[in-house]
Structure 1
Amino acid sequence: MTQCELPPEWLHIQLGEIVSYGKTQKCVLADVTGDTWVLELEDVEKESSRLLGRKTAKERPFKSTKNQFEKGNVLYGKLRPYLNKVVVADTSGVCTTEIIPLDAEPFVLNRYLFHWLKTRDFLNYVNQVSYGVNMPRLGTKDGVAAPFVLAPLAEQKVIADKLDTLLAQVENTKARLERIPQILKRFRQSVLAAAVSGRLIDVQPKSAAKLEDLVDIENGARKPVSATIRKNLQGTVPYYGATGIVDYLNDYTHKGRYLLVGEDGANLLSKSKDLAFIVEGKMWVNNHAHVLKERLGVNLDFVKIAINSLDLTSWITGSAQPKLTKKSLCSLPITNFTIGEQTEIVRRVDQLFAHADRIEQQVNSALARVDKLTQSILAKAFRGELTEQWRKDNPELISGENSAEALLERIKAEKAASKPAKKARKQTTA
């Protein structure tokens, strides 16, 4: 692994020189009380390390052996370490043996250690040495040999404080950005509601028609093809299912401009994707999507808007596998507008949706930059760039007895002193 250049008062060392990676204190259910915190990997969100939940031994009784940890310990998820699950314990408890409690204090601040374990340098090392294909882990030997950047103790606190502040701001920004797609989803739904009610063009529709009166349903030519058979039919023609393209084949079932409406699947209720979508050209449609063709005097794009505006709960059968039957589809109510009004509604909806799409693209770009910003800040911190001025202002706190080199010697001396003395051999007399 390539080592970056550090300030002269810092050191490149190994993780095992500051913590006993892999050495843990075990316990069973009988050793804890009912209100003891029991932490599992599933409780920690990947990358952000946010706690998603907290359960006690009473709520989560366990049969397997657990690792004990104390308040302030760094809890490192060694299973699938690329998920970057690391937390600092705010109280004592027990955790799965796939989480390793680490305590580097008093010579290394645990908050400083926590931030180092989140860096790209550490993650790159871990990804290189983890063993196991489906469930990779960071083993004890490789954990002990992992890289660590040791800064003087006083500087560790400054770095940890700066990172706590800066990364909290990044997380707050990210959280605000992540809320915007849901806001846009509600906006799009309100646009659809305004469209079918006539509010977008200031026209009050006088009645509603059944869908079967506006379109022809051409389901007869649909043909499902299993994944195995599709391997021998690969081509350039899109193969459509309930929510979009599934594959590309070498033949087609329909040719022209159609409106596809999902026939079954969870999307009928979740509406995570459009229920109805326009397709054009040659296509192969399977039996999971209804195929609609517009009639004279009907704008197919308007029909798409009308269907996507509906809550289909009342027309859907089945709970485990929701289904919109052809009979239910035909009975869907579509508000009546003239062809000119339909065209104007479509134009305005497209205009508003295009605006929402632009915002969503900007949000996605901003989120990508924010994700990179976290690692950029961490990298600057552990190259000494965040504390460059602080070191100039406080040379006495990073040199001599306060240098990282002196700190490492104290750590080694403490370890040597804590080792049990070897028993002297018993002398024997002839």
Structure 2
Amino acid sequence: MSKYEVYPSYRDSGVEWLGKIPEDWEVKKLKYNLTLQTDKVTIINQQVIALENIASWSGQYIPTDSKYQGDDVEFKEDDVLFGKLRPYLAKVYQCQNSGVAFGDILVYRPTKQTESRFAFYAMISEAFIDIVDGSTYGSKMPRASVDFVSNMPIVIPPLQEQQAIANYLDIATAKIDTLIEKQIKLIELLKEKRQAVISTAVTRGLDSTVTMKDSGVEWLGEIPEHWTIGKIKHYGIYRSGDFISADNIEVEGNYPVLGGNGLRGYSKAYNLKGNYVLIGRQGALCGNINYSKDKFWATEHAIVVHNNKNIDVKWLGEILRTMNLNQYSVSAAQPGLAVENIINLTGVQPPLEEQQEIAKYIDEKTSKIDNLTTKSTKAIELLKEKRTALISSAVTGKIDVREIA
């Protein structure tokens, strides 16, 4: 924040977490500048907003099929919505039109001396959220009380200054959001490229000059002429892991516990040793592919593939990943993947030496892609931190953005 000016003079706010504020700013309880609305809905055909429609920390609207619930609170344009369930999620929204809010949402209407957008930024600032979150009750579903939120102190500059700060933050956060969106799109492109690299390598091989033949399998298409086609049960033996009590799974321990979606924790015992492919067999993400090494405990939620000697573990995992085994799960309250439903699927098999070359190629290529993905992920984190810090500094008067606005 060093590039920003500060105000000419400051005074003690009288509130520890606010610290010093500009001389002519006031500290007031939120309820004196934003009135809590409790009027129930009278018109049903309006926009409906639930917590799921509000993006954390940005206040952006997320379209869903939220429906009228019958006991909801009306809001109008420029009202500010605040999610009191799990306040750490920072679900705050500045209303662009009239509608209905339902669930754990408080509806606040700014007074004439309060700029709606400034109030939004003040209520989504990190310090405000942290204090409210620290007041919650209930362990599984922590909520903030209406009285606590309404009595929260906020800093109120003169109206014209509120508008100038809000104008600046609108522009500055929009620029940051654009940069974040670009990084998100880049990550998606990298994800697609990663999968394309793997899919091409395990189904086409690395030699583009080799003679091809029709595999007779729709998802495989043409494959190198010297590769063989067969059931994937010939890759090895498929066995489910063993039950382990949740009481025996710890945060730290000697041996990793691997379930359907990877690492679940650690245990004092192990049931397998070595490098294996594990297939998730339960839950929405069944069909997931993970790898083991050394000693570990495979739970009953994972299918462990004991590969044959002519099958490379890394190649095996990537060909199974490419097959998208999740599509063969049995639909139920808890989707599951049965061994008998997948072992007779048709796969392809190159010679062992070629499998190893393909596995090495995939490791090299995906490592580079993963490094780029990590950089983009870190860039997003830094941009979000910058956004949060900028809002907090501006609405508490730690920086002066009036001239910039």
Distance across 2 between alignment mates of 1:305 and 1:54 = 35
**Contact 1:201 1:345 survives alignment (8 Å):** no
Task: State the superposition RMSD in angstroms.
Answer: 3.0
For residues 155 and 294 of structure 1, do their structure 2 counterparts lie closer, same or farther at Cα, with a shift above 3 Å needed?
same
Max Rg structure: 1
Match of 2:20, SS state, is coil
Match of 1:103, SS state, is strand
Partner of 1:337: 350
Distance across 1 between alignment mates of 2:65 and 2:339 = 47
**2:102 aligned with 1:96:** yes
For residues 137 and 39 of structure 1, do their structure 2 counterparts lie closer, same or farther at Cα, with a shift above 3 Å needed?
same
How far off its partner does 1:132 sit? 4.3
Match of 1:129, SS state, is coil
**2:309 aligned with 1:279:** no
Partner of 1:291: 304
**Contact 1:16 1:144 survives alignment (8 Å):** yes
**2:60 aligned with 1:60:** no
Partner of 1:318: 330
Aligned with 2:276 (options 258, 264, 271): 258
**2:28 aligned with 1:13:** yes
**Contact 1:235 1:251 survives alignment (8 Å):** no
For residues 335 and 379 of structure 1, do their structure 2 counterparts lie closer, same or farther at Cα, with a shift above 3 Å needed?
same
Query: Which ranges of structure 2 fall in alignment gaps of 5 or more residues?
Result: 1-15, 213-223
Deviates more, 1:154-163 or 1:253-262: 253-262
**2:225 aligned with 1:219:** no
Distance across 2 between alignment mates of 1:317 and 1:98 = 36
Deviates more, 1:301-310 or 1:36-45: 36-45
How far off its partner does 1:119 sit? 0.9
Distance across 2 between alignment mates of 1:177 and 1:116 = 27
For residues 154 and 306 of structure 1, do their structure 2 counterparts lie closer, same or farther at Cα, with a shift above 3 Å needed?
same
Aligned with 1:200 (options 196, 201, 206): 206
**2:184 aligned with 1:178:** yes
Match of 2:239, SS state, is coil
Partner of 1:48: 58
**Contact 1:38 1:54 survives alignment (8 Å):** no
Deviates more, 1:364-373 or 1:169-178: 169-178
The one-letter code matched in structure 2 to 1:310 is: M
Aligned with 1:267 (options 285, 288, 294): 285
Distance across 2 between alignment mates of 1:136 and 1:123 = 13
Aligned with 1:210 (options 209, 212, 231): 231
**Contact 1:37 1:54 survives alignment (8 Å):** no
Distance across 1 between alignment mates of 2:402 and 2:28 = 24
Q: TM-score, normalised by structure 2?
A: 0.80
Match of 2:230, SS state, is strand
How far off its partner does 1:35 sit? 2.2
Would you tell me which structure has more helix in proportion to its own residues? 1
Partner of 1:418: none
Distance across 1 between alignment mates of 2:104 and 2:96 = 19
The one-letter code matched in structure 1 to 2:58 is: S
Partner of 2:363: 350
For residues 311 and 5 of structure 1, do their structure 2 counterparts lie closer, same or farther at Cα, with a shift above 3 Å needed?
same
- What fraction of aligned residue pairs are identical, expressed as a percent? 25
Distance across 2 between alignment mates of 1:291 and 1:77 = 44
Partner of 1:2: 17
How far off its partner does 1:199 sit? 4.6
Q: TM-score, normalised by structure 1?
A: 0.76
Distance across 2 between alignment mates of 1:55 and 1:257 = 45
**2:126 aligned with 1:120:** yes
How far off its partner does 1:181 sit? 3.5
How far off its partner does 1:76 sit? 2.5
